[in-house]
Amino acid sequence: MEVRHLKVPKSSANSVMASARRHGQRLMDFSVFSEGDFVYIPVKDDAQIEGIESVRTKGKQRESLARPQKVSGSFDAIGSIAIIKTKDRDSALRLAKSILEDNRGIRSVYMDTGISGEYRLRNLLLVSGEENRRAIHRENGVEMIVDLETVYFSPRLATERLLLSKKVKDGEKILDMFCGVGPFSLTIAKYHSCEVSAIDKNPTAIQLLNENIKHNRLIGTIHPILGDAAAVVPGMKGFDRILMNLPESSGDYLQLASSALKEGGLINYYENMKVENLEERMESMREEGFDLVSKRQVHSLSKTEFMFSLELKKRTGKIN
């Protein structure tokens, strides 16, 4: 039986597979298989993963085995750490037990009760396993040290980081305004000969970024900068591309980013918003001197709110 498969390089297979499974796009009755340098991931016909090649080929059907019924529930995996959202203690305990039994690499399961503070840190409660919030997370051929006690990190943007890196051209001068431990910067520099200036005001994030640079073989160069983008970016000029992944307040920094961007340069902008507010936001960007190159819905936050990715081009003749 022929089914649709995502055809991805082996280096990015794990992150794409996790994303497809998390969004309910994976065909679980068929097995993943590899040929040459590529991995083939069976997905539903209506699966939408922009920028990733898909082919129809003969599926390798799994044998049906009688197994105990497992507790269902989604989770985010960051290295050896699993993070769940449910706030019901009994449900969390059942789900944590199921996660630890089914995932040999997971050693700690935490409940995420929200994000707070200047550095947007997760409020985590250990449900089961080891008390350890430091992990080595691997995605897209990149290895990152993450400490959830002191920095914010989301594995949900792994596919987004890969798609963005594919848009970058060698020789670009790039600014990552809110870099964290460097997932966007590292993915880009892993595959492109470019220069990335990476800013974050969290000292631990910059410390970990420096460690992560040493732990990866990079083609490009990353310059970590400790400081608030509002204070650091003024005076910076000539960037070909600027990354703005601060989805709760990226709009507050758009004009600042424009001042550092070349005419015709690109901004990769992320914002959490309701669908009905998207057109108004894009219109305000046009008024500020940007043309929309592309837009996509990255993932849902609730029934009415989503994270959107907008690629903007600075209009020629735009005066800051």
Q: What is the pLDDT of residue 21?
A: 73
Per-residue pLDDT of the chain (320 residues; tens, 9 = 90+): 788 888 888 887 877 877 777 666 777 777 888 888 888 888 887 666 666 888 888 887 664 333 333 444 689 999 999 999 887 889 999 999 999 998 889 999 999 999 999 999 999 999 999 999 999 999 999 999 999 999 999 998 999 999 999 999 999 999 999 999 999 999 999 999 999 999 999 999 999 999 999 999 999 999 999 999 999 999 899 999 999 999 999 999 999 999 999 999 999 999 999 999 999 999 999 999 999 999 989 888 888 899 999 999 999 875 55
Count the domains in the chain: 3
Q: Are residues 190 and 123 in the same domain?
A: no
> Considering the domain boundaries, does residue 144 fall inside one?
no
Q: Are residues 91 and 162 in the same domain?
A: no
Q: What values do phi and psi take at 273, rounded to 5? A: -160, 165
CATH code for the domain in which residue 210 is found:
3.40.50.150
Q: What is the pLDDT of residue 107?
A: 95
CATH code for the domain in which residue 86 is found:
3.30.300.110
The string of DSSP letters for 149-192 reads TT----GGGHHHHHHHHHH--TT-EEEETT-TT-HHHHHHHHHS
Q: Are residues 163 and 291 in the same domain?
A: yes
Q: Are residues 121 and 215 in the same domain?
A: no
Report residue 286 as tokens: 């046009």
Is pTM beyond 0.75 here? yes
The 8-class DSSP code of residue 303 comes to S
The string of DSSP letters for 279-299 reads HHHHHHHHHTTEEEEEEEEEE
Which domain does 123 fall in, by range? 76-132
Q: What is the pLDDT of residue 49?
A: 66
CATH code for the domain in which residue 9 is found:
3.30.70.2580
Q: Are residues 124 and 8 in the same domain?
A: no
> Considering the domain boundaries, does residue 229 fall inside one?
yes
> Considering the domain boundaries, does residue 70 fall inside one?
no
Q: What is the pLDDT of residue 24?
A: 67
Cβ 315 vs Cβ 290: under 8 Å: yes
Q: Are residues 97 and 221 in the same domain?
A: no
> Considering the domain boundaries, does residue 166 fall inside one?
yes
Q: What is the pLDDT of residue 11?
A: 80
Q: Are residues 275 and 166 in the same domain?
A: yes
